[in-house]
Amino acid sequence: MTPLLEVSGLNLAFGQRRTPALRDVSFTLDGGQRLGIIGESGSGKSVTALAVMGLLPDNAFLSGSIRWRGQELVGLGDAAYSKLRGDDMTMVFQEPMTALDPTMPVGLQVAEVLRLHRARSKDAARFGASAEQIVDNARNRVLEMLTEVGLPDPGRAALKYPHQLSGGQRQRVMIAMALINRPALVICDEPTTALDVTVQAKVLRLIDYELRAVQAASLFISHDLAVVSQVCDEVLVLYHGEVVERGHVAQVLGAPEHPYTKGLVATARLDLVTPGERLPVIEDFLSSAQLAGGGAANG
């Protein structure tokens, strides 16, 4: 069986100097599987996600292969890619403050995602419906979705503009937009990093629940090991644009093999540090050759 997403030999460089950002990155993802991608900032986590979504900036040079249900995505035209995006594969971004259009009510923004992919084709075919019915159906589905993501008073919330909602509420709207079309893959790029700690846990639980509900696969990007271990089955460790380790969450975090992963795990376990001792830093775990060798940067 072909995997849902198969990335192989992905190389990415930016700008005229071709600063490398990813080197020979390969991984596969099956339907419903959740893969965490961890690494420090600049390790290439976010650009991996953007590469899969086909949303890299113009100055990016991408080579290698990204296969979606066996179809090659590298070099795919914008029109064909746009049909996938938001329907079959979606993304939740890090910055809830700026990721929504400030000039449009949030309900409309959610409805747009639905209509963009559904209303014309699938709904019309399914219901043989008139335009009004489609709008009605869309409205009901949007309200249903907003309720599901836990927005209080969804009917009123739908009419609000992003600046009238809190960060957590906006991220819930983002999640509604990402899940309303029941995608096969949801890429989450640090979805809780920008939120207050108390809200983080709630939003994380929501994502976990929603992914399960639609049985979507997920690429879950985070620098937070605790978050990844809560949500993901497997984890991929990126270091300077290279995959240095992959395996089950428990295995990788319990018995890390690569020095970088060891450092990552050790620096996260502050409870193990003897009071008065210097805190561990990642560099403690890397040989000087590894430190010097990792020239790839830019996330």
Partner 1 sequence: MSVVRVLASRVGVFAISLLVASLAVFCVVNALPGDVAGTILGTNATPQAIAELRAQLGLDRPLPLRYIEWLGGMFRGDFGVSAFTYEPIGALIRPRLAVTCWLVFLSVGLAVTLAIPVGKYAALRRKKFTGQLVSVVSQFGMAVPAFLMGIILSLVFAVRLGWLPANGYTPLLVDPLDWARRLVLPCTALALVQGAVLVRYVRNAFIDVLQEDYFRTARSVGWPLRAAVNRHGMRNAALQVVTVLGLQLATLFVGAIVIEKVFVIPGLGSLLIDAVAKRDLPIVQGVVMLLVALILIINAAVDVLYVLIDPRLKSDTEGVDV
Interface positions with partner 1 (CB under 8 A)? 53, 55, 58-59, 78-79, 82-87, 90-91, 93, 95, 98-104, 112-113, 116-117, 150-152, 157, 160-161, 163-169, 174, 177, 196, 198-199, 202
**Smallest separation (angstroms) from partner 1 to the CB of 82:** 4
User: Whose Cβ is closer to partner 1: residue 87's or residue 210's?
Assistant: 87
**Smallest separation (angstroms) from partner 1 to the CB of 161:** 4
DSSP for 11-26 reads EEEETTTTEEEEEEEE
DSSP for 29-82 reads E-TT-EEEEE--TTSSHHHHHHHHHT---TTEEEEEEEEETTEE-TT--HHHHH
Contact 150, 208 (CB under 8 A): no
User: Whose Cβ is closer to partner 1: residue 78's or residue 132's?
Assistant: 78
**Smallest separation (angstroms) from partner 1 to the CB of 50:** 8
User: Whose Cβ is closer to partner 1: residue 121's or residue 288's?
Assistant: 121
**Smallest separation (angstroms) from partner 1 to the CB of 56:** 11
Q: Cα(113)–Cα(183) distance, rounded to whole angstroms?
A: 12
- Quick one: residue 187, left, alpha or beta (phi over 0 = left, psi -120 to 50 = alpha)? beta
**Smallest separation (angstroms) from partner 1 to the CB of 105:** 8
User: Whose Cβ is closer to partner 1: residue 165's or residue 204's?
Assistant: 165
Contact 227, 192 (CB under 8 A): yes
User: Whose Cβ is closer to partner 1: residue 109's or residue 261's?
Assistant: 109
Number of neighbours of residue 225 by Cβ within 10 angstroms: 20
Q: What is the DSSP letter of 85?
A: B
User: Whose Cβ is closer to partner 1: residue 159's or residue 255's?
Assistant: 159
Bridge pairing between strands 89-92 and 185-189: parallel
Residues 211, 212, 213, CA angle at the centre, nearest 5°? 90
**Smallest separation (angstroms) from partner 1 to the CB of 227:** 18
